Amino acid sequence: MHTLTQLYRVKGWLLFAGALLLLAVIVPLLNLAVLPDHPLHVPDHMITLLGRILCYAMVALAMDLIWGYAGILSLGHGLFFALGGYAMGMHLMREIGRDGVYGSDLPDFMVFLDWKELPWYWYGSEHFGFALLMVVLAPGLLAFVFGYFAFRSRVKGVYFSIITQALTFAFMLLFFRNETGFGGNNGFTDFKRILGFSLADPRTKVSLYVITACTLFAVLLLCRFIVCSKLGRVLTAVRDAESRLMFSGYDPLHYKLFVWTLSAALCGIAGALYVPQIGIINPSEMSPANSIEIAVWVALGGRGSLTGAMVGAGIVNGAKSWLTVAFPELWLYFLGLLFILVTLFIPKGVMGVMSAWRSRR
């Protein structure tokens, strides 16, 4: 109980519970229990959209942890997101079974490539538990190895950002190749079911959505726990004065490596929740543009504020889904201006503006 009061004060917990209630209980009920012609009905496509935004909010949390608190700007978080998605996608491909176009045990794209058997790295993907493990392990291990070498040789600042960008770019090229064994250009799609439940069934969709919402709030608590702990203080010190921290006897390597790997694993989880709801994963998720967009969610919401990161992801992606349909040619202008204006005029993001407004009152 003691730690719980450390995480949020009473008002914070009330807000937390309210948001959780709204997103994880009321919205699904409005979708399932309210008749479609009722004004309060939440249509199915809205559930999918909300589910997607919640996944992005989880990515934003992971990004905020590493950028907002430890001051390390990663331009490769889209890669970890996509790796988690691919790990889940592999399992979903296996669950299609013989219901594919070619009626083969192998995924359709392998039949198309005239492959006779599964490559070794597909072994085990038929087990859901193994897939869940890979969702965390694949991005986590990559981040661990990459981070270990990068942080050990004290690559930092923009150099780190640029090589993470190169990393995701390299992986994108790799996954675009048919020979890599992940479906090339098209990636994975045409999923049929998850754990035996049909993905076309609205109830499955709502269930996935509820799982996503609950996971998001669990991740939020975890992140909150980390930033409130002593570890969180060290991370803030890494951001603000790394040399001074080193002179005080701390080795930043372990702290940075831990939070970097954790952040990557959280992205992987978000990707794994994203894929069954959206129904497709392909290498364009790894494009450098996607990863850098994550940074603007966090910057808009407010770096160093977990709630802010989630709010930022919600605002930008909400605007994206509306603008790309209503005014497709305006979307890039909006996004570009957002990048410029946020960095120039509201460096602390929406949360910073709100707290400044509150303190003035």
Partner 1 sequence: MNAASSFIKLQYLLSLLCVLLTGRAWALDADTLGILAAADTAQRIVAIEKIVNTADAAALPALEALLAGALHIGDANVIVILTPQGAVDPLTAKAVTPLPRNLQKVSINNRIRQRLNSALAALKLAAPERAVRLAAAGELQKNASAALLPLIERRIQVEQDAAVKALLLAARASLQLNAPEREVRLKAIHDLAQSPSNHTKSLLLARLGNDAVPLETDAQVRRALQSALAEVDIRLKWVGYLNHAFNGLSLGSVLLLAALGLAITFGLMGIINMAHGELLMIGAYTTYVVQILFKNYWPAAFDGYLLAAVPASFITAALVGMALERSVIRHLYGRPLETLLATWGISLLLIQTVRVLFGAQNVEVANPSWMSGGWAVMTGLVLPYNRVVIILFALFVVVLVWALLNRTRLGLFVRAVTQNRGMAGCMGIPTAKVDVLTFGLGSGIAGLGGCALSQIGNVGPELGQGYIVDSFMVVVLGGVGQLAGTVIAALGLGEVNKFLEPYAGAVLGKIIILALIIAFIQKRPQGLFALKGRSAES
Contact positions toward partner 1, by CB under 8 A?
73, 146, 149-150, 152-155, 157-159, 161-163, 165-167, 169-170, 173-174, 176-177, 288-289, 292, 295-296, 299, 329, 332-333, 335-340, 342-344, 347
Cβ neighbours for 124, distance < 8 A, ≥ 6 positions apart: 130, 134
d(CA 311, CA 297): 8
Least Å distance between CB 73 and partner 1?
5
Locate 173 and state its tokens. 């090229």
Angstrom distance (rounded) from CA 252 to CA 259: 11
CB of 167 to partner 1, least distance (A): 7
For the bound state, the minimum distance from the C-beta of residue 235 to partner 1, rounded and expressed in Å, comes to: 16
Tell me the closest approach of the beta carbon of residue 49 to partner 1, in angstroms: 23
Which residue, 24 or 59, is less far from partner 1 as judged by CB? Answer: 59
Between 29 and 166, whose beta carbon lies closer to partner 1? 166
202 vs 336 by CB, closer to partner 1? 336
Shortest reach from residue 312's CB to partner 1, in Å: 13
CB of 153 to partner 1, least distance (A): 5
- Is 255 within 8 Å of 94 (Cβ atoms)? no
Q: Which is nearer to partner 1, 229 or 287 (CB)?
A: 287
Please state, in angstroms and rounded to a whole number, the distance separating the CA atoms of residues 208 and 278: 11
Name the residue nearer to partner 1 (CB basis): 25 or 145.
Answer: 145
d(CA 167, CA 150): 12
Our CB check for partner 1 shows the closer of 111 and 155 to be: 155
DSSP string covering 109-178: HHHHTT--S--GGGTTTTSHHHHHHHHHHHHHHHHHHHHHHHHHTT--HHHHHHHHHHHHHHHHHHHHSG
